[in-house]
Amino acid sequence: MSVIRVPTPLRPYTEGQKEIQINGGTVGEALKDLANRYPSLKPHLFDETGSLRPYVNLFLNDEDVRELQGESTPLKAEDRLMIVPSIAGGQ
């Protein structure tokens, strides 16, 4: 079973858990498993059409999934998926 690391701003929606074991053969399946287990997290990850929000950055181990196969990227049991929040601001 893979592990997903939840950033601090999203932990209130996962009962304070920072790492959660997830099911799924792909990144997309794992995210859907996470959202089904924690429904209040879903609107922070997905839009009304069910698409991943553009500001949700995902890293599989140390690689940005956008540079792999996106949500279709396969997962292995020893993989670590991380949600990294976007940071905006500046002048």
Is residue 51 assigned to a domain? yes
Range of the domain at 77: 2-85
Is residue 80 assigned to a domain? yes
Number of domains in the chain: 1
Do 19 and 81 contact (CB within 8 A), yes or no? no
Given 3-state DSSP classes, what are the helix, strand and coil percentages for the chain, each rounded to the nearest 5? 35, 25, 40
Is residue 44 assigned to a domain? yes
Is residue 90 assigned to a domain? no
CA–CA distance, 36 with 72 (Å, rounded to integer): 18
Is residue 91 assigned to a domain? no
Residue 46 belongs to domain with CATH number: 3.10.20.30
* Residue pLDDT, tens place only, 47-85: 999 888 888 899 999 999 999 999 999 999 999 999 987
Distances in Å between the alpha carbon of 38 and those of 22, 43, 54, 71, 90?
Answer: 12, 10, 20, 19, 32
* Residue pLDDT, tens place only, 14-37: 999 999 999 999 999 999 999 999
Is residue 29 assigned to a domain? yes
